[in-house]
Amino acid sequence: LITAPAARELGARHLTLVSPYLAYMRQDIAFHPGEAVSQRHIGQALAQWFDAVITIDPHLHRVATMDEVVPGRRGVALSAATLIGQWVAQQVDRPLLLGPDAEAEQWVRVAAQAQGLDYGVCHKVRRGDHDVSVALPGVSVEGRAVVLIDDVASTGRTLVSAAQAALTQGAASVDVAV
């Protein structure tokens, strides 16, 4: 935020921000009255400083593209999902990929389909910031090597709940790719 205007002062005509993890993308709506929508505010600020923004697997659930996040500028969202699926397929025998909640479906589906792997998406119930439960999808985890895939782990509660559910239902192992 200091370098961008300084670069403009020194004559830069085009600035592209490459941010492997773009913070503040998760708050894409006001969940409670008075909350700031950080995705919108950060996106508008970045659009003032940069001509383009490139990031990996941003938290886009209520907007379709990064172009919407950085209005009037070029926003590019790359994905690591295919590479994660490829790596898991090379490391784990017959893995079952699981998304711990509906929001992870976009990554787990791509990771699985690219390698022909089995996958499913758990159902999450959030009763509060510290009270989360996860129900496994209608796929058998018994004896399977389960790999949970998600875009970010803040507290880890959803991933822990999904891992506990898989182990309780007989998963041979549970690994996490975030």
Beta-carbon contacts of residue 140 (< 8 Å; ≥ 6 apart): 169
Question: Which three-class secondary structure state does DSSP give residue 33?
Answer: coil
**Does residue 22 have an active-site annotation?**
no
**How far is residue 49's CA from residue 3's CA, in Å, rounded to a whole number?**
10
H helices of 38-178, in order, are 38-49, 66-69, 81-91, 105-113, 157-168
CB 96 within 8 Å of CB 139: yes
Which member of 124, 151, 157, 161 is catalytic?
Answer: 124
Positions marked active-site:
124
